[in-house]
Structure 1
Amino acid sequence: MKTKALAAVTALALLPLSTPPASAAPRIDWKPCATEYAPTLECASLRVGGPFTIALAKLPATDSARRVGSLLTNPGGPGGSGVTVLEYGGRGFALDKPEMAEVRQRFDVIGFDPRGVGASTPAVTCGPTLHDPSIGRFPRNRAEYDRFIEHNRASGQDCLDRTGPALSKVDTWNAADDVEAIRAALGEPKVNWLGVSYGSELGAVYAEKYPKRVRTMVLDGAIDHSLPTRKAILDEAVATESALKDFAQWCTTSDECALRGKDALAAYDALMATPGGVPAKELGRNVTAEEMAAGVYGGLILPEFWPGVAQGIAAATAEKPDASALAPYAQLDPTYGAYRAIGCHDFGPAFTSYAEARVMQGLVKTLAPHSWRYSEFWDITSGCAGWPVTPAYPPRPQKVRGAAPILVVGGEHDPATPLVWAKGLARNIEDSTLLVDAGYGHTGLLNSACVRTEEVKYLVSGVTPAPGKICR
């Protein structure tokens, strides 16, 4: 991994790139679609391969005289909507932060909904039974396991019936071809890419398939597709456990923690052990321990959410408990179907028998004795056991060769995408550079001014940071 900080490379990175002939690809017909948060927003759609039409949004560069090009963005997921992020002014990409001002000035920021997602058509459509609180993801005996597998099979078949054959084509390997179609339709000879979390997965696949089409690419909160699914589960279980302990330690000294003066970890454990779950007024039912663990996880990913997590635990353990703040709203959202379908294509099940399930459960509980009830990879891959669609892009060795220097970013205290994944992905990409965020939370972009500064400098110049750079 070497930085190519040569004057000649810098000069080339700043030169305008030639545009291919207009006949090379269909053009995008942008229309105004202003929102309260994005008054200059433009929207369009693009027909790509097979039955898919991709929804697009654009925030035009504010300094057209110094425009570098288009910056394609992906907010993660799997199944995250880039269009929705731009409708809110790009806050999901920290575009409201001062360090990102030059991005807004010099790039047309492009968001899109990947195939099967959001406003793209056909969209993955599943029924409300995809998440059933009565079906635990840690079956305790063979009867529970058989019920669990049958639920996954039936809910997956329901998704297939509602979505149609397109459900078999929403994997990330195929989605990378849509990125290439977007690039061509934009008239850009090369891609600038800012992908966070699962956006690193899609970006890396694009670079593998179209290395010569990469100008700059940031892969922040990186995923290493070379890892076997079981190894990824265990890595993330360790990272989630560490994040929960970091939160509990923060609670011992922070005035913002509603649990200050108490043992926050013990309070969490007691909550998880509540027989029958805890009432959630907003849902009108009790939420289970697994559901509350998912709700806590959703708050652990960003330190700015930690006060809310503490308040949620305090409310759920109060004399008149209410666990509404810890409900698993992500699992109850209609977009959860795309999350599951894409994840099952890209990673598949973590186990194929009750015996394998018991072994994996034991390992997760050993590595994460407090937080074991929920981690994202366990949620994705356990839901793939019995799924009726064969994985199209399961983990395999990944190598990116011949691309311009790519910037990989990983966090030392990231509960969702452990630093070891970023290190692995950087090894898989020839001439990449790894930037380490020593802070807390998921992705450097959303949590570190230092990381944002380095990413913007790279996106503009094409020159990666010095090897070994750490943002503290």
Structure 2
Amino acid sequence: VRDLRIVLGYDQVNLWGVSYGTRLALEVMRRYPQGVRSVVIDSVLPPDVKPEVESPTNTMRVLDVLFNGCAADNACNRAYANLRQVFFDTANALDKQPATMTATNPLNNKSYTVTLDGSMFINLIFQMFYDTDMIPSLPQVIYQAKAGQYDELAQFEGLLIAQDSSISLGMYYSVYCNEQLPLSTPAEVEAAIARYPELASYYEDSTRSDFALCAGWNSGKADPAESQPVHSDLPTLVMAGEYDPVTPPAWAKHAAQTLTKSYYFEYPGMGHGTSIGNSCPTGMMIAFINNPDVAPDSSCIARMGEPRFLVPVSAADIKLEPFTDGQMGISGVVPVGWSEVSQGVHARNQSSLDQTALLQLAGSGATSAQIAQALLPQLGVSKLPDSGGSYKTAALTWKLYRANTTLQGQTFSIAYALADQGGKGYIVLLLTTPGDFDALNKAVFMPALDALKPVQ
């Protein structure tokens, strides 16, 4: 980092580190403070903690934050009662009788048959905490797993498989075995695991394999000075997420204790990496970099709130609002809160895994069947099935269709309708999960058919 600054010709730089990047930023602060103007450390890995020893405590902490958060939310608690018990009962059941699921790598559409045991179930939920957008769906995913429904877990596993292709395990273990694992002993780690018997199977095998791998990796050991606290008077913004599974807020507070010009903030409802996950922490970071000698305005934190946990869809809770697309020459309705991700396509976007969407398209020079035949293969539907009937509205007469499909290992139900009038083809399509289909068909799809009409 120092050499890069010098080569680029900067007298000073602003350092921004996230996760392991905070470890690097802190070390630069220790060794080369003269070249640093300000520092932002987000999701902090202090040099003087023992990550392997503290990991079981950190995992149980974030699970308890979830369980308590759901219990305190009336809607979540009604839908997903006794979440802690359900979670560990499900993990135990999968250890006794593992399930299988199909995970698809979205980068190449290659599918894998995956064995889902209790340890993998815990790990997938743990990994989901990293992504703030996934946190609201976690109680729902846990209850789905209890019922033997693994589609969202399979979809997420596909994302992890894709992510693995961008990671160099050799580089990872060269750093990990040099800097991190030597801070702990197998006996210390085993004692830490013993305090949480519910997590024993999750940790035992991976911990033993890490010590065995590092014993043969020959990456050496870091200078002991690197594992000492960093003392600095550089202006530093210290950021933490309430739901961070791997670098808890306590670590960020600990690092800040020896940074005399630091400002610490915890962001509710957020996972790992807060500085770019929400406009509030992002704005605070920008304000701090612009003026690092004063604490940034933190009033926006009070408006962030806890996660809005996903609960089963109720038709009565869905509100519609009008929309018009002058280019396609149509008007109709869309659900309030759904965002337009491309022309005529509105997505619910409740979480990173939510693919529920409403599509309303019109085109001249092509029939509705031709539009559908071009679109449906992208949704895993190879051909137009037989119509399930017709539906007449004030503006158009629709042919109705139903289909089921699998995308990236997740099962979806599709309702779509086709109409032709005045040399123009029209299509309305709802894509959602089987569990949400009935409510959304009633509250979104059918009202969309009723409302859609041509406009000049």
Q: TM-score range by the shorter chain?
A: 0.5 to 0.7
- Distance across 1 between alignment mates of 2:54 and 2:252: 12
Q: Which amino acid aligns with 1:215?
A: R
Q: Provide the secondary structure at the position in 2 that maps to 1:399.
A: coil
With normalisation by structure 1, the TM-score equals 0.51
Residue 55 (structure 2) pairs with residue 239 (structure 1): no
What is the rounded CA distance, in whole Å, between the counterparts of 1:440 and 1:265 in structure 2?
20
**Contact map agreement 2:12 2:35 (CA 8 A) in 1:** yes
- 1:216 Cα deviation from its structure 2 partner: 1.6
The aligned residue for residue 121 of structure 2 is 292
Matched, 1:421 2:251: yes
Q: What residue ranges of structure 1 are gaps of 5+ in the alignment? A: 1-178
Q: CA deviation at 1:386?
A: 4.3
Is the 2:100–2:114 Cα contact (8 Å) retained in structure 1? Answer: yes
Moved more, 184-193 or 221-230: 221-230
Q: What are the residue-to-residue correspondences of 1:39-118 with 2, within 5 Å?
A: none
Residues 381, 249 of structure 1: alpha-carbon distance in 2 compared, 3 angstrom cutoff: farther
Task: Kindly indicate whether structure 1 or structure 2 has the higher relative contact order, using CA contacts under 8 Å at least 6 residues apart.
Answer: 1
Q: 1:361 to 1:191 in 2, by over 3 A?
A: same
Q: Which letter maps to 2:142?
A: I
Matched, 1:456 2:289: no
For normalisation by structure 2, the TM-score amounts to 0.53
Q: Which residue of 1 aligns with 2:98?
A: 277
Residue in structure 1 matched with residue 191 of structure 2 by the alignment: 359
Structure 2 Cα separation of the partners of residues 325 and 211 of structure 1: 44
Superimposed CA distance per residue, residues 1-24 of structure 1 (whole angstroms, 9 cap, x where no aligned partner): xxxxxxxxxxxxxxxxxxxxxxxx
Tell whether the 8 Å contact from 2:284 to 2:297 is kept in structure 1 after alignment.
Answer: no
How far does the alpha carbon of each residue in 1:217-267 deviate from its partner, in whole angstroms, 9 at most, with x for none?
Answer: 10011121112345533552343333442464377625xx9x924543333
SS of 1:463's equivalent in the other structure is coil
**Matching residue within 389, 392, 401 for 2:222:** 392
Please report how far the alpha carbon of residue 180 of structure 1 lies from its aligned counterpart in structure 2 after TM superposition.
Answer: 1.5
Mapped contact 2:240–2:252 kept (Cα < 8 A)? yes
**Is residue 193–residue 218 contact of structure 1 (8 Å, CA) maintained in 2?**
yes
Whole-angstrom CA distance in 2 between matches of 1:295 and 1:320: 14
**SS of residue matched to 1:404:** coil
Displacement of 1:415:
2.5
Answer yes or no: is the 8 Å Cα contact 2:38–2:236 preserved in 1.
yes
SS state at 1:202 partner: helix
Q: Aligned partners of 2:260 and 2:209: how far apart in 1?
A: 33
Partner Cα separation in structure 2 for residue 290 and residue 321 of structure 1: 15
Choose 461-470 or 183-192, whichever is displaced more.
Answer: 461-470
Q: What SS does structure 1 have at the residue aligned with 2:272?
A: coil
Q: Is contact 2:53-2:189 (8 Å) kept?
A: no
Cα offset, 1:399, TM superposition: 2.4
Change (3 A) 1:326 1:232: same
Deviation readout 1:139-185 (Å, 9 max, x if unpaired): xxxxxxxxxxxxxxxxxxxxxxxxxxxxxxxxxxxxxxxx1222122
User: Secondary structure of 1:281's partner?
Assistant: strand
Structure 1 Cα separation of the partners of residues 62 and 188 of structure 2:
22
Residue in structure 1 matched with residue 157 of structure 2 by the alignment: 327
Quick check: 1:431 aligned with 2:261?
Answer: yes
CA distance in 1, matches of 2:99, 2:131: 24
Deviations 1:319-376 (A, max 9, x none): 56555145386478141613343222221157645x555423202x16xx4x66658x
Check conservation: 1:348, 1:381, Cα contact below 8 A. Answer: no
CA contact (8 A) 1:297 1:374 kept: no
Matched, 1:344 2:160: no
Q: Which residue of 1 aligns with 2:71?
A: 249
Report the Cα offset of residue 215 of structure 1.
1.0
Unaligned runs of 5+ in 2: 104-111, 303-456
SS in 2 for 1:409: strand
Q: Is the 8 A contact 1:248 1:263 kept in 2?
A: no
* Structure 2 Cα separation of the partners of residues 396 and 279 of structure 1: 42
1:347/1:381 contact within 8 Å kept: no
- Mapped partners of 1:336, 1:189: distance in 2: 33
SS in 1 for 2:38: strand
* Amino acid of the structure 2 residue aligned with 1:346: E
Contact 2:22 2:41 (C-alpha < 8 Å) held by counterparts: yes
> Which residue identity is paired with 1:241?
L
Counterpart contact for 1:295–1:328, Cα < 8 Å: no
Pair 1:227 & 2:10 matched: no
Name the residue aligned to 1:209: 31
SS at match of 2:41: strand
**Partner residue, 1:181:** 3
Output the amino acid matched with 2:194.
G
Deviation at 1:382, TM superposition (A): 6.3
CA distance in 1, matches of 2:130, 2:292: 29
Q: Is the 8 A contact 2:80 2:140 kept in 1?
A: no
What does residue 324 of structure 2 align with? none
Alpha-carbon separation, structure 2, partners of 1:215 and 1:228: 29
2:128–2:135 CA contact under 8 A, matched in 1: yes
For residue 327 of structure 1, give the secondary structure of its aligned residue in structure 2.
helix
Report the Cα distance in structure 2 between the residues aligned to 1:214 and 1:391, rounded to whole angstroms: 27
- The answer for the alignment partner of 1:106 in structure 2 is none
Residue 21 of structure 2 aligns with which residue?
199
| 1-structure distance, mates of 2:240, 2:20 | 13
* Structure 1 residue identity aligned to 2:128: G
Name the aligned partner's letter for residue 292 of structure 2: G
> Which amino acid is 2:192 matched to?
M
* Partner-residue secondary structure (3-state), 2:265: strand
**C-alpha distance in 2, partners of 1:215/1:383?**
38
Name whichever structure is richer in strand by fraction. 2
**Structural RMSD (CA):** 3.7
